[in-house]
Amino acid sequence: MKKQKESALQRTLSYAGSYRGLMYLSFLLSAATAVTGVMPFVYLWRIIKEVLSVHPHYENATDIVHNGWMAVWFSLTTMLVYFIALMCSHLSAFRTAANLKKTLLSHIAKLPVGFADEMGSGKLRRVVLETTASAETLLAHNLPDMVQAIVTPVCMVVLLFVYDWRFGLGCLIPVIVAFACMMQMAGPAMAEDMKRYQDALEKMSNEAVEYVRGIPVVKTFGQTVFSFHRFKKSIDDYSRFCIRYTKRCRPHMIAFTVIINATFACLIGLTLFLTGGGSVSQDILVNFLFYVIFTPVIVTTMNRIMFLSENSMLLDDAMTRVDEVLGIHPLTETTEERHPKGAFVELKNVTYYYAGGENAAVSNLSIQAREGSIIALVGPSGSGKTTAAALISRFFDADEGEVLIGGVNVRDIPKEELMDTVSYVFQDSRLLKRSIADNLRIAKPQATEDEIKEALLMAQCGDIIERLPQGTESVLGSEGTYLSGGEQQRIAIARAILKKAPVVILDEATAFADPENEALVQKAFLELTKHSTVIMIAHRLSTIKGADRIYVLDHGSVKEEGTHEELIKKNGLYTTMWQEYTQAISWKVGGNAV
């Protein structure tokens, strides 16, 4: 993580590597264009002066062509040098953005799996894609312009006072007043507004992702956007912020625009004052015409300064968010590697808090799964079932207590070995838009075609492969190759079978399966769990009746444990859940019992 005392620009350029020199060269060239860019006005003033001095005998004007060509030469030189400056800045910006993304993705790959869920996929996507893109845009375009915007006013002030200090002062006073108006919008308060703006966008992005994921539910039950209160609230909050910020800036922006564009009016008033209502001298007329022509440069420069100050704040906010991700520490790697002996799983007095959470997700939790046994975790939503399973896979580390596999703390098991030891079948099957074979090879990259087919058959996927013209090479999500939720889950189970992990975790693995697919998924489970220790999480209690041990969780702690029959006899929380479950499945549309 970069030191916070460094500026956002320094932190950004630190990712440019050997291309950093190109960015500095771009600065120098941009500064040069600021100087050459005002030279055409110098020659324009000479042309005006000569034309007025020889009037009406224009044939005596001998330097007009020379001065005109010099103005053209400086204009073309300015464009050429600026083009080279942009080439240098773009090369450096592209390398910086690439290195920044590589650094972020490399760091994210080392972070615990649970980190993405805690931060939110929408926010993480914005940091990796949009934040790095904004840094690239600023380096490629805005920084060269910023150098121009700094050097150009210096050249302008010189020109303003070289020919007639009175007209120069007449141009400078509106600039100073306009700058004061601009600072009311682009001052320190704007930096905080930019942060709030980006926060609102991140929140809206996160909620949008969740909303899209829930669209099937919305369509199924005929709900509207108001069913997703958090998404609508994030949009409303963003709208209110933008309207409030726009209204606050409106008077200052109007004043800035009017004043900076009315500079020529000050020049007219000053000219009338200097002439005293009498005749206009040639010198005053020449200078008046020059300053009127030069006024648009002042307007352009001030507008550029205003927008560049905003871009600088955006870069600072972007790098702060990048540093926030880079500041999250990966899980500690053990220096003394130990290897599990068997597939006995145990959680001993485990407590874990999610980031920012006041209450523990699991508290003093103790669970045991003997080698080769099947245990089930049940309980109300938010009881800590998924958290407990995630701790076994080391998606994050427990704050207190121990998580053991084969008698070894998961912290002491090498990361690669732990991944080979535990296989996780998620509620969302998370298949990639690749071929079915490629999706299975995630579990075992060196798997042969025969091994893949065997795993698919064991997972009851034979009907899926038979109907696809390209078999296991069919790419999911393309050319009409789409699978139902239950079919995707069977492919995910085939992937777990191919892995042959000693410990298998099934997290609501039948959640999206219809009755027909659920029967096939259950058969696939039998193959998957033949030689493994299995931890099941399920809301459908019928799927865990045969478990060797059932743990009933509530508010992060074990309230009851035992077999199905033992728990029913206790007449406790599990009994209540079982009665509600059996009552729910005994009804069909119309209220008639099945």
Confidence of residue 80 (pLDDT cuts 50, 70, 90): very high
Q: Count other Cβ atoms within 10 Å, centred on residue 401.
A: 18
- How far apart, in whole angstroms, are the C-alpha atoms of residue 443 and residue 426? 14
Cβ contact 511:492 at 8 Å: no
Cβ contact 594:515 at 8 Å: no
- Residue 169: what pLDDT? 76
pLDDT tens digits for range 117-166? 666 666 777 778 777 777 788 888 778 877 887 787 777 777 777 777 77
Cβ contact 257:185 at 8 Å: no
Please tell me the pTM assigned to this model.
0.62
Q: Count other Cβ atoms within 10 Å, centred on residue 212.
A: 11
Q: Name the 3-class secondary structure at 396.
A: coil
Q: Name the 3-class secondary structure at 303.
A: helix
- How far apart, in whole angstroms, are the C-alpha atoms of residue 409 and residue 422? 14
Phi, psi of 563, deg, nearest 5: -80, 175
Sequence spans of domains, the chain: 8-326, 355-585
Closest CA to 457 of 527, 517, 510, 506: 527
Q: Count other Cβ atoms within 10 Å, centred on residue 400.
A: 15
Distance of CA 226 to the CA centre of its chain: 25
pLDDT tens digits for range 477-532? 766 577 777 788 888 888 888 888 889 888 875 555 555 666 776 777 777 777 78
Token couple for 251: 């008077």
For tokens 């597939």, what's the residue? 343
Please compute Rg for the chain using Cα positions. Answer: 35
Check the CA dihedral 24-26-28-30 and report its sign.
negative
CATH 3.40.640.10 fits 8-326, yes or no: no
Q: For residue 391, how many C-alpha atoms fall within 13 Å in the half-sphere facing its CB? A: 31
- How far apart, in whole angstroms, are the C-alpha atoms of residue 414 and residue 437? 27
CATH 3.40.50.300 fits 355-585, yes or no: yes
Token couple for 567: 């728990």
Q: Name the 3-class secondary structure at 304.
A: helix
Distance of CA 166 to the CA centre of its chain: 53
Q: Greatest CA span in the chain, whole angstroms?
A: 118
What's the average model confidence in pLDDT over 78-96? 92
- How far apart, in whole angstroms, are the C-alpha atoms of residue 49 and residue 62? 12
Strand pairing category for 549-554 and 533-537: unpaired
Mean pLDDT of the chain: 79
Token couple for 590: 């119309």
DSSP state of 222: T
Q: Is the pLDDT of residue 589 over 60?
A: no
Confidence of residue 63 (pLDDT cuts 50, 70, 90): confident
Find the length of the chain: 594
Token couple for 517: 């697919």
Q: Count other Cβ atoms within 10 Å, centred on residue 568.
A: 14
Confidence of residue 69 (pLDDT cuts 50, 70, 90): very high
How far CA 529 is from CA of 14, 392, 459, 589, in Å, comes to: 51, 17, 11, 35
- How far apart, in whole angstroms, are the C-alpha atoms of residue 373 and residue 346? 12
Q: Is the pLDDT of residue 221 over 60?
A: no
Same fold, 8-326 and 355-585: no
- Residue 220: what pLDDT? 45
